[in-house]
With several copies, the nearest count.
Chain A
Amino acid sequence: MSEDHDGHHHHPLPEPYPAIRTKALESLLVEKGLVSTDAIDALIKTYEQDVGPLNGARVVARAWTDPAYKQRLLEDGTAAIAELGYGGAQGAQIVALENTPQIHNMVVCTLCSCYPWPVLGLPPSWYKSPAYRARAVSEPRAVLREFGLELDPAVEIRVWDSTAEVRYLVLPEQPAGTVGMSAEELTKLVSRDSMVGV
């Protein structure tokens, strides 16, 4: 909730408004037996604890340490990801995009907020922001610079706009000096952002 220099709120909602509204809706829907408290709690736990970028990091670390897996991942991302037990909503078809010294991939959804939930969890706010959705396709290098990545002009940049059912997972380059590390160790080095390509 930002305030501009003249002290006027951009944001029209008083802070507690959506919280109160949501409470009121949950209350009515529970009373009518159309939802249950435990189902809500369980789904929240699912996306706060079970379905998140750690899944994607495991996929990436496996690909870094297992060339055959990497090949399967690039050929059929959905199937290779399912090998590790991941899949589900917003992951009907997952395509892995390999970053190389020559090619940098970056993912966006300009029309809404499509994102590969099974491997990355729910999208962060910046991914859903109008700024990212607007700028990623027209000035990806400027956007990457804001994320601290100055891409060499010789590197081709490919931006993937998730306008249909495919969800994209970027397979980042393995950091220098990490060859020989175990998949478990490598998992800790894989950031969520690197799997979006920023």
Chain B
Amino acid sequence: MDGVHDLGGMHGFGPIPYEKDEPVFHEPWEARLYALRRALTVPMFATVDEHRYALEQMPPARYLGLSYYERWLAVFQEALVANEVLEADEMRASFEAYEANPDAPVPRRTDPELTARVVAAAFRRPSVHHDDGIARFQVGDRVLARNIHPKGHTRLPRYARGKQGQIANINGICNLPDAIVAHREPEPQAVYSVRFEAVELWGDAAEPNASVYIDLWDSYLDPAVIE
């Protein structure tokens, strides 16, 4: 979707909010929320793609107004109800109970087997499918990023659409996220690293001697018309 999450090239966001010696988590709740989501025995999002799309669909002012983990919290709450893991009523009751008594303890439960499993999952190395046989383009080919505007999830950023680039690398085969999120049949495609010259992307506003490499699925690309 052409949402506010698609931030590449946007103006008006001010300086980079750099923080020296930043901790991994700024607040204890961020750490607990992060781990809670990943440790849950019933995952709320079948794929990372669906989690991303849930974030993208937040109201735009809210997406931009909330912090990273506040956005996670918002979509996690919605998913817990949508997936019928929690009922809206019991969630509200629990919120109200802790609002009334913020220092009330959280019940504890230990499950060494689950603990071992979630930690192991953090270190499990996913495999990547390398089969360049289905790649339509070869390194060096000139391509045109298509002018698409799907309302669903996509990973072709707006700033690249309609722009010409050159295949710099064939990364491997991955399922098209657009299809995953739309719950269509898997669409395995070659994913390329495509080099775009900064001047092609930004015109006169481009900085000198710069390029952007964007990882793009095969169906995001057409052969460039003019060599």
CA distance A58 to B119 in the complex (A): 22
- When distances are taken between beta carbons in the complex, the residues of chain A under 8 Å from B86 are 25, 28-29
The answer to whether B109 and A110 have CB atoms under 8 Å apart is no
Q: Does B183 contact A (CB under 8 A)?
A: no
- When distances are taken between beta carbons in the complex, the residues of chain A under 8 Å from B184 are none
Minimum distance in angstroms from A101 CB to a CB of chain B? 13
CA distance A93 to B106 in the complex (A): 38
Minimum distance in angstroms from A138 CB to a CB of chain B? 4
- Cβ contacts A115-152/B at 8 Å (1 or 0 each): 00010011011101111111101111111001100000
The answer to whether A164 and B215 have CB atoms under 8 Å apart is yes
Interface residues on A, range: 35 or more
The answer to whether A134 and B115 have CB atoms under 8 Å apart is no
The answer to whether A164 and B39 have CB atoms under 8 Å apart is no
- Stretch in A15-23, A61-69, A169-177, A180-188 touching the partner: A15-23
Q: Does B139 contact A (CB under 8 A)?
A: no
**With A28-B90, A89-B122, A163-B157 given, is the CB distance from A35 to B40 under 8 Å?**
yes
Who on chain B is nearest to A49 by CB?
B24
- When distances are taken between beta carbons in the complex, the residues of chain A under 8 Å from B124 are 88-89
Q: Does A84 contact B (CB under 8 A)?
A: no
Q: Does B224 contact A (CB under 8 A)?
A: no
The answer to whether B159 and A138 have CB atoms under 8 Å apart is yes
The answer to whether B7 and A38 have CB atoms under 8 Å apart is no
The answer to whether B211 and A156 have CB atoms under 8 Å apart is yes
Q: Does B65 contact A (CB under 8 A)?
A: yes
CA distance A132 to B100 in the complex (A): 38
- When distances are taken between beta carbons in the complex, the residues of chain B under 8 Å from A47 are 24, 34, 122
Minimum distance in angstroms from B85 CB to a CB of chain A? 7
Minimum distance in angstroms from A175 CB to a CB of chain B? 19
**With A88-B122, A153-B208 given, is the CB distance from A25 to B16 under 8 Å?**
no
The answer to whether B106 and A30 have CB atoms under 8 Å apart is yes
The answer to whether B215 and A122 have CB atoms under 8 Å apart is no
The answer to whether A46 and B119 have CB atoms under 8 Å apart is yes
Among A51, A138, A155, which residue has its beta carbon within 8 angstroms of that of B201? A138
In B7-44, the 8 Å CB interface with A consists of 7-11, 13-19, 22, 24-29, 31-36, 38-42
- When distances are taken between beta carbons in the complex, the residues of chain A under 8 Å from B9 are 110, 134, 137-138
- When distances are taken between beta carbons in the complex, the residues of chain A under 8 Å from B212 are 137, 158-161
Who on chain A is nearest to B177 by CB?
A164
CA distance A126 to B171 in the complex (A): 27
Among A44, A89, A130, A141, which residue has its beta carbon within 8 angstroms of that of B32? A44
CA distance A26 to B76 in the complex (A): 12
- When distances are taken between beta carbons in the complex, the residues of chain B under 8 Å from A36 are 39, 109-111, 114-115
**With A35-B41, A39-B111, A126-B18 given, is the CB distance from A22 to B36 under 8 Å?**
yes
Q: Does A165 contact B (CB under 8 A)?
A: yes
- When distances are taken between beta carbons in the complex, the residues of chain B under 8 Å from A161 are 8, 157, 212-215
Greatest chain B CB density within 10 A among A26, A121, A137 is at A137
Minimum distance in angstroms from B77 CB to a CB of chain A? 6
The answer to whether B174 and A165 have CB atoms under 8 Å apart is yes
- When distances are taken between beta carbons in the complex, the residues of chain A under 8 Å from B5 are 111-112
Q: List 25 A-B contacts (CB under 8 A).
A: A10-B59, A20-B98, A21-B29, A24-B97, A26-B32, A28-B94, A31-B107, A35-B109, A36-B110, A36-B115, A38-B115, A39-B39, A47-B24, A88-B121, A89-B121, A89-B124, A111-B7, A125-B22, A129-B16, A130-B10, A131-B15, A134-B8, A143-B16, A160-B193, A160-B213
Given contact pairs A51-B122, A89-B123, A163-B155, a sample of 15 additional A-B residue pairs in the complex whose CB atoms are under 8 Å apart: A21-B29, A27-B107, A36-B115, A42-B35, A87-B123, A88-B121, A110-B6, A125-B19, A126-B18, A130-B7, A146-B16, A158-B212, A159-B212, A159-B213, A166-B191
